[in-house]
Amino acid sequence: MDDNMRWTKFRIKTLTEAEDIIISSLYDIGLEGAQIEDKVPLTAAEKEQMFVDILPETQEDDGVAYLSFFVEENEDGTLKVNGGNTTGEQILQSVKSELEDLRMFMEIGEGTVAVDRTEDIDWINNWKQYFHQFYIDDVLVIPSWEEVKAEDKDKMILHIDPGTAFGTGMHETTQLCIRQLKKYLTPETRLLDVGTGSGILAILSLMFGAKEAIGTDLDPCAIEATRENIKANHILPEKFNVMIGNIITEKEVQDKVGYECYDIVVANILADVLVPLTPVIINQLKPGGIYITSGIIDDKETTVTEAVEAAGLHVLEVTYQGEWVSVTAQKSNVPQ
């Protein structure tokens, strides 16, 4: 994004029940990419889809919603919409006209529009107002823009930035996995982290004393995020290797990762992905190896435990935090 880019922001105060219809109506006049602010609690399904990082819900839903649309400005102060140029006043009149039309047949609340100018919308840095250092048990997780306090200098510290996305350790599923990893890791552990994202679980495993780690992920951007976090946490690059690809469907990835060579496989991914993953990943585990899973919303617990048992693994324990579940299982000591 160009540093000198300027935007005009149109912020509409309305009701949550009118969000979708207003967004749809304004899309027709060229306003896209609405930023939605409301206090509607997330459903279980939404949480499952967004489990990487969910900001804490702090206030009760009051039915009010704010919709913000950002329109790029030209140097002469006109605005770019639908490939053409117009003025802020024209857009404002169009928005108000659409809202008044909608008001005739539905409740839209205040339906007021505030207009602001803003320099370079910095979505990444907006995180800074929400993301502060926090503890996962005795591990301090800290972003780059905060200082380590003197009393924390001797603590185990994980350096992570939300700017690299893919997870910060804030989410319950990550914390469930971390606790299980601590319980089962030894200095000889070779770890496979499926859906490694920003590499948090593998990096912490190495900090806890594991011998080496491999991560796989579908998203090429995960490699860059993981490399930044490896560097920020002073992990030797040769101790943690990341591969891009789908280990469930791609034999080439399975071959590259290797068979019966991991003491622990950890998978913090959606329950619906754990079901097809489990019968595949059993081949990567050593006899007696430990399988740690999370990303499971509570109503999917049975789905995952049944998939684990169907693959021939023995469930060792099921742990809980909030609405989330972690299933830890073990492969038989008898070679397959």
Binding-site residue positions for S-adenosyl-L-methionine: 174, 195, 217, 268
Distance CA 167, CA 182 (A): 19
Q: Is 144 helix (H, G, I), strand (E, B) or coil?
A: coil
Distance CA 178, CA 175 (A): 5
Specify whether the CB–CB gap between 291 and 265 falls below 8 A: yes
| Dihedral sign of CA atoms 7, 8, 9, 10 in order | negative
Distance CA 35, CA 68 (A): 5
Which residues, including other chains, have CB under 8 Å from residue 253's CB and lie 6 or more apart? 216, 243, 245, 246, 247
Report residue 215 CA to chain centroid gap: 17
Specify whether the CB–CB gap between 177 and 268 falls below 8 A: yes
User: Could you tell me which residues are annotated as the binding site?
Assistant: 174, 195, 217, 268
In 132-220, which ranges are E strands? Answer: 134-136, 139-142, 156-159, 190-194, 212-217
Angle among Cα 102, 108, 114 to the nearest 5 degrees reads: 100
